[in-house]
Amino acid sequence: MKPLRIGLIGYGFMGRTHSNAYRKVNNFFQLEHQCVLQAVCARDAAKVKAFAENWGYQSIETDWRKLIAREDIDAIDICTPNNSHAEIAIAAAKAGKMILCEKPLSMNGPEGRKMVAAVEKAKVPNIVWYNYRRVPAVTLAKQLIDEGRLGRIFHYRAKFLQDWTISPELPQGGAGLWRLDAKAAGSGVTGDLLAHCIDTAIWLNGGFEKVNAMTETFIKERKHTLTGKVEKVGIDDACAFLARFQNGSLATFESTRYARGHKALYTFEINGENASIFWDLHDLHRLQYFDYRDQSIVRGWRNIHVSDGDQPYMKHWWVPGLQIGYEHSFVHQVADFLKGLETGQPAGPTFREALETQFVCDAVLKSAKSQKWEKVAKAR
C-alpha cells in the first residue's frame, strides 16, 4: 500500500473527528493508500504533544508553515478557524501538498476564488469537509433523486437550529468561541450552519439562482475573550432566506443559535411530483420517503432504516439492522478522497465545488443588508 502522510493543523473538535477517520478508514475500506498520522500542528506545544500521544501522531509542529515545508508530509488537513483557511491552503498548494480543508472553504467568495486558483494551478488533489453528504441516509437521498424517483422537484426546505449562544454573558473570540467573532468566523450561522444546508442542497437539487434573506444579531455586544473589552458583535445570530433554484424549485432555509431546546437540529425535506424525502440529523441513519405511486391502500411515509449492505457505505460496517453514526461520515469522506486518488475521479466537493456554497452565503448576507433579491454569482 502507498502511504499517505497526513499533516493535521488544529486539534479541536474537527481535529478529533478527522484523526479518528484516518485511524479507522483502512480497517473498513479496501484502498490503495494507507493513512499515516505523520504530524499534528497547533500553537500550544504541551497540548499538541498530548494530542499526538492520544491519537498516535508521530511528530508535532507548533507553526503550520514548518509543517507545510516538511518533505515527509503528503496531505495537509486544515482544521483551524475560518480566517486561516485561505492562507494555509494557498501556502500548502504552492508547496505541492494535497489539501483537505474544513468548511466553510473561506471567509467569502473572492477569498475562496483565490484558493481555487491556487489548488488548480498547483494541480493538487483537494476536498472540503462537507461531511453530511456522506451520512448514508443523505447519500441514499441523492441516489433516489438521481434515479428520477421524485420527478420534477417543487420544494426544498432546510433548517439548522441550535441554542448555545442565548446567554448575553457568553464572551466572543478565542478558543472555543471564535465562532462568535466575525473576524475569525467571517459570518455567524450563515457560514457556520447554513453552509452545510447549502452544500447538501446544491448536491441534491442543483445550483441556486437567487436568494432573499433576513438576519438578526440578538445580542449586540459581548466581551471579547482576547481583548477583555466589550465589543460590537459582527456575526448573524439567526438567518432565514428564500431561494429559487436553477431547476425552478422554491426553497426556504433557516438557521439560528437561539432555538431553545435544539442542539443540532439539521433537517431537510424535498417535495417532488412523485415522491418526497425527509431527513433529520438527530435520527441520522433513517430516511423518510413517501411515494405517491404506491398502491393507495398502503401509501404512506416509509421510515427507511439505512443499515442494509446494498445501501450506501453500509456493506463496509456491521450486519443489516445495526446503524452507524456521525463520526462515520468523516471516515467515508477520507475513503472517497482516497478512492478519488486511485481512480482519477476526484471526490467532491472540491474547492471549486465548495466555492458555489461560498457565493450563496455571500448573496444571502448581501440580501440581508440590501433587503432585495440577490443573484448568486457563478463559481464555474
Ligand X SMILES: NC(=O)c1ccc[n+]([C@@H]2O[C@H](COP(=O)([O-])OP(=O)(O)OC[C@H]3O[C@@H](n4cnc5c(N)ncnc54)[C@H](O)[C@@H]3O)[C@@H](O)[C@H]2O)c1
Binding region for ligand X (CB under 6 A): 9-15, 41-43, 64, 79-82, 84, 102-103, 129, 131, 175-176, 192
Instruction: Report in angstroms how near the CB of residue 84 gets to ligand X at its nearest.
Output: 5
Residue 196, CA atoms < 13 Å, CB-side half-sphere = 24
Residue 175, CA atoms < 13 Å, CB-side half-sphere = 8
Q: Which is nearer to ligand X, 101 or 140 (CB)?
A: 101
Taking only Cα atoms into account, the Rg of the chain, rounded to an integer number of angstroms, comes to 21
Q: Which is nearer to ligand X, 184 or 213 (CB)?
A: 184
Q: Which is nearer to ligand X, 144 or 161 (CB)?
A: 161
H or E element, residue 305: strand 302-305
Q: Which is nearer to ligand X, 22 or 64 (CB)?
A: 64
Longest dimension (CA), the chain: 66
Question: What span, in angstroms and rounded, lies between the C-alpha atoms of 145 and 319?
Answer: 26
Instruction: Report in angstroms how near the CB of residue 34 gets to ligand X at its nearest.
Output: 24
Q: Which is nearer to ligand X, 107 or 213 (CB)?
A: 107
Instruction: Report in angstroms how near the CB of residue 327 gets to ligand X at its nearest.
Output: 11
Q: Is 250 helix (H, G, I), strand (E, B) or coil?
A: strand
Instruction: Report in angstroms how near the CB of residue 104 gets to ligand X at its nearest.
Output: 6
Instruction: Report in angstroms how near the CB of residue 364 gets to ligand X at its nearest.
Output: 16
H-type helices in the chain, by residue range?
13-28, 45-55, 64-69, 85-94, 109-122, 136-146, 182-185, 189, 195-205, 326-343, 351-370
Q: Is 30 exposed, middle or buried (0-12, 13-18, 19+ CB in 10 A)?
A: exposed
Residue nearest to ligand X (CB): 12
Instruction: Report in angstroms how near the CB of residue 360 gets to ligand X at its nearest.
Output: 16
Question: What span, in angstroms and rounded, lies between the C-alpha atoms of 313 and 330?
Answer: 12
Q: Which is nearer to ligand X, 9 or 197 (CB)?
A: 9
Instruction: Report in angstroms how near the CB of residue 318 gets to ligand X at its nearest.
Output: 23
With vertex at residue 334, the alpha carbon angle to CA 316 and CA 265, rounded to the nearest 5 degrees, is 85
Measured in whole angstroms, the distance separating CA 19 from the mean position of its chain's CA atoms is 16
Question: What span, in angstroms and rounded, lies between the C-alpha atoms of 351 and 120?
Answer: 9
Cell of 294: 404506491
Q: Which is nearer to ligand X, 194 or 270 (CB)?
A: 194
Q: Which is nearer to ligand X, 181 or 192 (CB)?
A: 192
Instruction: Report in angstroms how near the CB of residue 151 gets to ligand X at its nearest.
Output: 31
